[in-house]
């Protein structure tokens, strides 16, 4: 999960307008189009199970050809035809994954919400549901999903990482710090054995790098990212000295190949937070520290200059406020 408290815009359309209905996509591949039409006819005739088989077949074929839109269409139409809850769950999970890959986060949430209803005791489903909610900016419900995931599987460290971010974004900075500190301890003990991949969310990282994200394949990089999150949490708790000390120690004691991808991940999260919360001055100072740790002093200097300019702008207002409060 990534740092992205997005604002949601709800579009309300007049329910009587037929043209507002979602248009069903027609695949460009002739064989796929033929199969889709056949499946739809079976569904309309009430032969749901046979229709499901064809929709499922089409989705599989489309994915093999990287025809993601067609696969999504097939899975969406397969779901109401599923003969068993297990089949529906499988379809929802595949649909959620494809929509997340495509960047269609609203449909992703819809798919995983249904999956969570079908399998409320499945920790992996809850983890995916929580991340999907995060991607649309629903941090409160995302937090609940991650808490449930960890209650089901305390060793789901990926969910613990995301839970810490959710705590941070919902104003529970101390809980975020405790969660990430516990995760950092687990990383040092070698418990984070599976590699993590993070897709970029900030505009700056998407623009400036040719990669789509960072792969934390080594144990050292996963330990580093957890410790960096602890540093960020210190900043959110208004303890900038602790944040600076933590980053400095990491820079001195972590191999460059481990630290660089971890720094990219946390930079991306912090830059995204700054895009959403430009008034949060601690974030800009923190971004400067991270750029400096990454060996990019010019970018660090630019952030500090922005920080200083912001301070100059608000200085007269702070002075007036103090005068009204009777302070010197």
Tens of pLDDT along 91-138? 999 999 999 988 899 999 999 999 999 999 999 999 999 999 988 889
**Where along the chain do its domains lie?**
32-107
Contact 163, 143 (CB under 8 A): yes
In the prediction, which pLDDT does 25 show?
A: 52
pLDDT number for residue 53: 96
Residue 280 pLDDT greater than 80, yes or no? no
pLDDT confidence bin for 328, thresholds 50/70/90:
low
Res 324 pLDDT > 90: no
Residue-level pLDDT at 15 = 27
Alpha helical stretches, state H, 218-296 = 219-236, 240-253, 256-276, 281-293
For 140-169, how does the pLDDT look when each residue is reduced to its tens digit (9 = 90+)? 999 999 999 999 999 999 999 999 999 988
Neighbours of 95 (CB within 10 A): 25
Query: Model-level pTM greater than 0.75?
Result: yes
Q: How far apart are the first and last CA of the chain?
A: 45
**What SS3 class is residue 198?**
strand
With a cut of 70, say whether residue 4 has pLDDT above it: no
């Amino acid at each position: 999960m990534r740092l992205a408290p997005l604002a949601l815009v709800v579009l309300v359309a007049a329910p009587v307008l037929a043209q507002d209905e979602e248009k069903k996509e027609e695949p460009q591949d002739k064989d796929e189009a033929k199969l889709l039409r056949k499946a739809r006819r079976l569904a309309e005739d009430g032969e749901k199970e046979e229709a499901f088989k064809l929709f499922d077949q089409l989705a599989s074929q489309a994915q093999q050809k990287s025809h993601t839109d067609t696969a999504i269409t097939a899975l969406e139409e397969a779901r109401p035809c599923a003969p068993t809850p297990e089949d529906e769950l499988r379809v929802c999970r595949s649909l959620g994954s494809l929509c997340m890959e495509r960047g269609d986060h609203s449909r992703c949430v819809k798919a995983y919400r249904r999956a969570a209803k079908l399998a409320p005791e499945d920790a992996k489903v809850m983890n995916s549901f929580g991340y999907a909610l995060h991607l649309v900016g629903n941090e409160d419900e995302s937090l609940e999903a991650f808490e449930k995931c960890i209650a089901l599987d305390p060793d789901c460290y990926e969910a613990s990482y995301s839970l810490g971010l959710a705590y941070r974004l919902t104003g529970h900075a101390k809980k975020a710090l405790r969660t990430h500190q516990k995760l950092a301890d687990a990383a040092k003990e070698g418990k984070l054995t599976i590699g993590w991949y993070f897709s970029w969310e900030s505009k700056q990282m998407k623009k400036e790098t040719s990669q789509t994200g960072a792969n934390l394949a080594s144990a050292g990089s996963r330990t580093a990212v957890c410790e960096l999150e602890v540093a960020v949490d210190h900043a959110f708790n208004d303890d900038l000295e602790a944040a600076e000390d933590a980053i400095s120690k990491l820079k001195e004691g972590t191999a460059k190949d481990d630290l660089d991808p971890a720094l990219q991940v946390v930079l991306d999260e912090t830059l995204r937070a700054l895009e959403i919360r430009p008034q949060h001055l601690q974030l800009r100072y923190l971004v400067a520290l991270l750029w400096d740790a990454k060996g990019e002093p010019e970018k660090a200097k630019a952030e500090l200059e922005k920080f200083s300019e912001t301070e100059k702008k608000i200085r007269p207002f702070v002075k007036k406020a103090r005068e009204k409060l009777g302070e010197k």
